Amino acid sequence: MHEVSASLSTAARQVAEVASGLSVDMEAERRLSPDVVKAMAEAGFMRHFVPARFGGRAGTWRDLLDAVTVVGEKCAASAWCTSLFASSPRFVRFFSEDAQREIWQDGPDAVVVPSVIPFGEAVVEGDGLVVTGRWPYMSGIEFADWVIVCPKVRRDGGEPELVLVAIPRSELGVEDTWFSVGMQATGSNTVVADGVFVPAHRIGDRAAVFGGRPGDPSAEPPVPGLAPLPAVNGLTFVAPALGAARGALDLLGGYLGKKIRNAPALPGMPGVDGNRATYESVLARSAAEIDSVGLLLRRIADLADSGQPITPADIVRNARDSAYGIDVLVTAANRIFRAAGTGGQAAGGPLQRHWRDINSIATHQALQFEPTARNYARALFAADR
């Protein structure tokens, strides 16, 4: 087990540089490079939320937000998997102590890839379950040591019960199904379980993941609280896009600076001077929008780190802010891409990749604004009664 001493944000810069140098190859191969995953582990991402008693960092959401954003400035797909690998140990902490010991028996850097969507089914066998099903969109699955998925369990003909199960990656199949316009390097392929037996200690409480868990400062060692998944889920998805938007804005500044210095005056054309106000407006407005999203995400992170109870009103506000934030980033990215002109829109260039990746992230089911607006309004109206 290697030692991790640098802060996560500082170590993230090395991950970003490795990912930047390999981004074109990773996109072509539709998966992360093993060198990027190795850099993530060395930086401490895999152990960020692992409890200290298992060798983890017991880290904060603020640190994770800042570090994922740094990676996203160079490669949004790498940042997406970084965010996933770092936040997934929270799911493990809702399983039994025996399951936690098993998953982290070889150290705190085990890669866990989860899905809480109930696509599969399970039947009771002895004190465990036999699980069968297919779970798509499992980002980074090629590098997983463990997989957490959600089957529906039918008991005695009653209503299905939704549970989480932890399964070694070696007991599962993977189908090559990820052919997306954006986020190509995430390798978000489909996991297949074909009659896999899961013992009782590796069956987890899905409802507890969604409901969160209060901390117990009187325990030895103290047990920190775990925020409800809906309160922080959006942050893990939007942070890579925030980094990509910052990267795109930085690229635009470079393109426009070069154009202002070097573009010749062309008779009958507006030229640089004629478009200067447009450039200034795009840079200033986009920077303000990107900064505003960063502030919203920091509020989400700070609440999750505070240890204070997270109310239903907090949850719907956080979901609203995440969905709003990705909408703002898409608007900024589209404006930046247009302002760059053909000189900044090279087919193999980094700007077009940032642009595609941000728009791709915005299609995630958890980041659609209308459902979050509905839930927010309902909570607001309920509070007024």
If you compute the radius of gyration of the chain from its CA atoms, what whole number of angstroms results?
22
Q: How far apart are CA 79 and CA 193, in angstroms?
A: 27
Helix (H, G, I), strand (E, B) or coil at 112: strand
> Are 144 and 167 a contacting pair, CB within 8 Å?
no
The per-residue pLDDT for 102 is 97
> Are 163 and 194 a contacting pair, CB within 8 Å?
no
Write out pLDDT tens, residues 47-66: 999 999 999 999 999 999 99
In which residue are the tokens 């993530």 written? 40
Q: How far apart are CA 40 and CA 78, in angstroms?
A: 9
The per-residue pLDDT for 343 is 77
Ramachandran angles phi, psi of 272, nearest 5°: -65, -45
Below-70 pLDDT ranges, the chain: 1-6, 215-223, 261-274, 384-385
The per-residue pLDDT for 355 is 97
Q: How far apart are CA 329 and CA 340, in angstroms?
A: 16
* Closest alpha carbon to 142 in 102, 108, 173, 103: 173
* Closest alpha carbon to 110 in 5, 232, 33, 1: 1
The per-residue pLDDT for 305 is 92
pTM summary value: 0.92
User: Which residues does residue 164 pair with via DSSP β-bridges, in sequence order?
Assistant: 204
Cβ neighbourhood burial of 78 (10 Å; 0-12, 13-18, 19+): buried
> Are 1 and 54 a contacting pair, CB within 8 Å?
no
Neighbouring C-beta atoms of residue 295, cutoff 10 Å:
10
Ordered by where they begin, the domains of the chain are: 8-92 (1.10.540.10), 110-204 (2.40.110.10), 229-263+275-384 (1.20.140.10)
Cβ neighbourhood burial of 221 (10 Å; 0-12, 13-18, 19+): exposed
- Two tokens, residue 110: 């085990």
The per-residue pLDDT for 5 is 56
The per-residue pLDDT for 123 is 93
